[in-house]
Structure 1
């Protein structure tokens, strides 16, 4: 029997909360993994224009592969479920983080680096205390973009039985014309939009808390 949207949300509240938590957890973990990998790649390549171009281009290749096709290709080596979903989301999240890490580090004023070197700071201290803090706002912008991308691709991960709100969307689309098909699709879609806005708000707060006032100014 078809019910109103609010009745649908109420009757499936526990399931929707569980799927929302799954979706948020999957995106967070994948973006965190992409952040670690992306920053390491950026650190290894930003001093060389050839290496940085290669790193950015390699990460950009993922965007030429449709998400459904990539997930389908991952079924054979990785099977169904969480693993192919995590791999796909991490790969799609890499480009904005790698690119922004390289841009942020390369954009640090060389006179500041020379001044730090002049007072006896080691290469690692310069990196940790000067370059990374100055590049952090640009890197965080890449993380925000990566998170929004991962939110959308995370819904498509239901194609390979991945966790999250994509199950609501795929089930609703598969039952179009049937009872509650629109409610299912709408619940999944709105849930992802709310999560995306919540994550972006959290990153804005993190940015304010982790960026010095001098840099923000």
Structure 2
């Protein structure tokens, strides 16, 4: 009951921090997705470049997020900028892999048919290949979103926005008044954001994926 009392007593600040966390996660996933699809579109027709991109994206996921965040503090200082850049970088990685795999899995016969009716390379990419690859790309976006919503908590270390401040402040004051409730509230709200985003992406998939591809 103390947790619910804490949430009720701090509803305004919790709402603001939740909005910050959700907004930061949404924006970084959006930017990461756009960059990832652009990179995939440039390399998927080149076997060596595609293989290097896939390998690099998988290796880059092993970079400790705190280490990257610390490196970004040097040129950008504390606050939103290093937080955004770190999250956008990690958001991009799962989507790149899925975008390359999805685009390379488009049946060659479909591409040849599109060429046969006179479509340009970029028209084929936009109207044929990307729609066919979209289910695989969307899966990458869902993975990226879940990861980023969780990782976004650590930006509190560099005074970044979001719910991470509740968690780390609570853990730093364990034993003090409302310390545990603060950490639990931050964790619970992050889980809620992750569930809401995933539900919205499932809905997006139902609205945008052709029944023949689902």
Where does residue 160 of structure 2 map in the other structure? Answer: 162
Where does residue 22 of structure 2 map in the other structure? Answer: 24
Count of residues in correspondence between the two structures: 214
Mapped to 2, the partners of 1:90 and 1:122 lie a distance apart of: 31
Which among 171, 184, 187 is matched to residue 186 of structure 1? 184
Q: Secondary structure at the match of 1:184?
A: helix
Q: Secondary structure at the match of 1:95?
A: helix
Pair 1:84 & 2:82 matched:
yes
Where does residue 55 of structure 1 map in the other structure? Answer: 53
Q: Is the 8 A contact 1:80 1:161 kept in 2?
A: yes
Unpaired segments of 5 or more residues in structure 2?
none
Deviation of residue 57 (structure 1)? 2.7
For the aligned residue pairs, the C-alpha RMSD in angstroms reads: 1.1
Mapped to 1, the partners of 2:25 and 2:54 lie a distance apart of: 22
Where does residue 125 of structure 1 map in the other structure? Answer: 123
Mapped to 1, the partners of 2:48 and 2:62 lie a distance apart of: 21
TM-score normalised over the length of structure 1: 0.95
Q: Secondary structure at the match of 2:61?
A: helix
Where does residue 135 of structure 2 map in the other structure? Answer: 137
Mapped to 1, the partners of 2:6 and 2:36 lie a distance apart of: 40
Deviation track 1:124-164 (CA, whole Å, cap 9, x = no partner) reads: 22111110100011111111111111111100111111100
Mapped to 2, the partners of 1:171 and 1:157 lie a distance apart of: 13
Deviation of residue 93 (structure 1)? 1.0
Which among 43, 62, 72 is matched to residue 74 of structure 1? 72
Q: Is the 8 A contact 1:117 1:126 kept in 2?
A: yes
Deviation track 1:155-184 (CA, whole Å, cap 9, x = no partner) reads: 011111110010100101110111111101
Where does residue 10 of structure 2 map in the other structure? Answer: 12
Mapped to 2, the partners of 1:56 and 1:94 lie a distance apart of: 12
Deviation of residue 99 (structure 1)? 0.3
Which among 169, 172, 189 is matched to residue 170 of structure 2? 172
Mapped to 1, the partners of 2:163 and 2:25 lie a distance apart of: 11
Where does residue 198 of structure 2 map in the other structure? Answer: 200
Give the ranges of 4+ consecutive aligned residues of structure 1 lying more than 3 Å apart after TM superposition. Answer: none
TM-score normalised over the length of structure 2: 0.97
